[in-house]
Homo-oligomer: A and B are copies of this chain.
Amino acid sequence: MIKIGIIGVGTVGEAVVKNLKKNKEIIKARAGKEIKVVKGVVRDLNKKRDINIPLTTDYKEVTQDPEIDIVVELMGGVESAYKVVKDALIHKKAVVTANKALLAYHRFELQKLASTPFGYEASVAGGIPIIKALRDGLSANDIIEIKGIINGTCNYILSEMKKGRDYQEVLKEAQKLGYAEANPTFDVGGYDAAHKLLILASIAYNIDAKPEDILIEGIENINLMDIEFAKEFGYEIKLLGIAKKIDNKIELRVHPTLIKKEEMIAKVDGVMNAVSVIGDTVGETMYYGPGAGGDATASAVISDIIEIARGIKAPMLGFKLPLNKNYKLKEIDEIESKYYLRIATKDKVGVLNKITNVLAKHNISIETFLQKPKDNFAKLLFSTHKCKEKEIKKAIKEIEAFDFVLKPINYIRIEE
């Protein structure tokens, strides 16, 4: 029998206990052993709960209990969870966690510390087994690129906006439906997706980077004019987490992205998640499913528990030996992309000429251009050929300085 202690018994913790019970027989046959939750750690012992397991408020009763084999960390947070997980590892417990923030900051330190199995399938894209796909299923591949819809809140909002609905209106609805938090910044600002992207990138490239090191932009400035442009030119707008290897540099970035509507990942709508991975050997594969929710997350947590019960110790971040590639994170300024720009200007003579002059000065060439009259001002929509982040930023700043430009200029990167 395998004995489990769960630290943090909220929605996911309860779902883990319930599903272990519901599928007890099938899980025992797959794992080879019975799995039993013997203790839960909570803040409030008096809170009414749907499940019936022994509870305590002291995490050490789990991390240091000699009877417990696996510590399941579902408490959330970064430093407090780090302390608890370290204590579990020091006491030779196997660890399973759903905590993406913990891993975004401390995955390499934890890997160093972990002599026992360490599962974190639930930390990225909820119920989609993308960690195992990258770590095991695609292990033959030099990964060329990962593109992920790894925040359901953003994908829901952008999908609804396609119907002509306003950002603020949809955000409010998403909050009502429980898809978005009262303070939505962590989701709509791209930070949640960034945490997950960092985890995926370390399995692909063995690269250590922190959220502060990478390009993160949210969907707050997308409006219906952008949606209209996307439709007109055959694109979808998605918040993507992108990891890409170019020579010996790794690009890591999270931002709204225009992608061709024929791409498989462009077809993923609503709160669903999907991760597309391009490997040099296999080509493109994509993984689709629910990225959040108690049961979906519990599915991933339990799959890690079963793996450990089977006696399997996979290399935590996918590498058993150091990778002598010495990949470096690409500086944000050096990232190259195509851009879509939306510029609102006063309806005056010479406006277009002045704007295109600035773009030309920065070596930014225009691929498509669309001008539409709009109430009292002109709406200029450009798409550019590839240019560097630092060039486009300079050009935007210079264009915004013109007195005929109604600031701010909006832009969306284009991936093709």
A interface list, Cβ under 8 A from B: 15, 19, 22-23, 25-33, 121, 127-129, 132-133, 136-142, 206, 264, 267-268, 272, 279-290, 293, 295-296, 298-303, 305-307, 310, 312-315, 318-325
Least Cβ distance of A336 to chain B in Å? 24
- With a cutoff of 8 Å between Cβ atoms, the chain B residues found around residue A288 in the complex are 264, 285-288
A108–B285 alpha-carbon span in the complex (Å): 29
The CA-CA distance from A299 to B303 in the complex, in Å, is 23
Q: Complex formed: what's the CA distance from A94 to B285 in Å?
A: 27
Is A282 a contact of B296 with CB atoms below 8 Å?
Answer: yes
Docked-complex contact B140 and A129, CB < 8 angstroms? no
A111 CB → nearest B CB, Å: 14
Question: What chain B residues lie within 8 Å of A315 (beta carbons)?
Answer: 30, 32, 310
Whether the Cβ atoms of A141 and B267 lie closer than 8 Å is no
B140 touches A306 (CB 8 A): yes
Cα distance, A158 to B293, chains bound together (Å):
36
Contact B283 A296 (CB under 8 A): yes
Bound Cα distance from A15 to B280, whole angstroms:
12
Pair B142/A26 contact, Cβ less than 8 Å: yes
Q: State whether B136 touches A303 (Cβ < 8 A).
A: yes
Contact at B281–A302, with CB atoms within 8 Å? yes
Given A32-B315, A320-B31, CB of A299 within 8 Å of CB of B140: yes
Q: Are B282 and A319 in contact (CB under 8 A)?
A: no
Asked if A128 contacts B29 (CB within 8 A), the reply is: no
Closest to A286 in B: B288
Query: Distance (Å) between the CB of A243 and the closest chain B CB?
Result: 15
What CA separation (Å) do A293 and B121 show in the bound complex? 29
Given A23-B140, A29-B323, A132-B132, decide whether A290 and B299 contact each other with a Cβ distance below 8 A.
no
- Known contacts: A299-B140, A325-B25. The answer to whether A285 contacts B127 by CB under 8 A is yes
Which residues of B lie under 8 Å from residue A141 when comparing CB positions? 23, 299
| Contact B30 A285, beta carbon cutoff 8 Å | no
Minimum CB–CB distance for A317 against chain B, Å = 10
Bound form: Cα–Cα A313–B298 in Å: 24
A157 vs B141: C-alpha distance in the bound complex, in angstroms? 30
Is A299's CB under 8 angstroms from B320's CB? no
A-B contact pairs, 20 of them (CB 8 A): A15-B281, A27-B139, A28-B321, A29-B323, A32-B320, A127-B285, A129-B133, A129-B137, A129-B285, A132-B133, A133-B133, A137-B300, A264-B268, A264-B272, A282-B296, A283-B289, A284-B290, A285-B287, A287-B288, A310-B314
A132 to chain B: which residues have CB within 8 Å?
A: 132-133, 136-137
Q: Which residues of B contact A279 (CB under 8 A)?
A: 127, 299
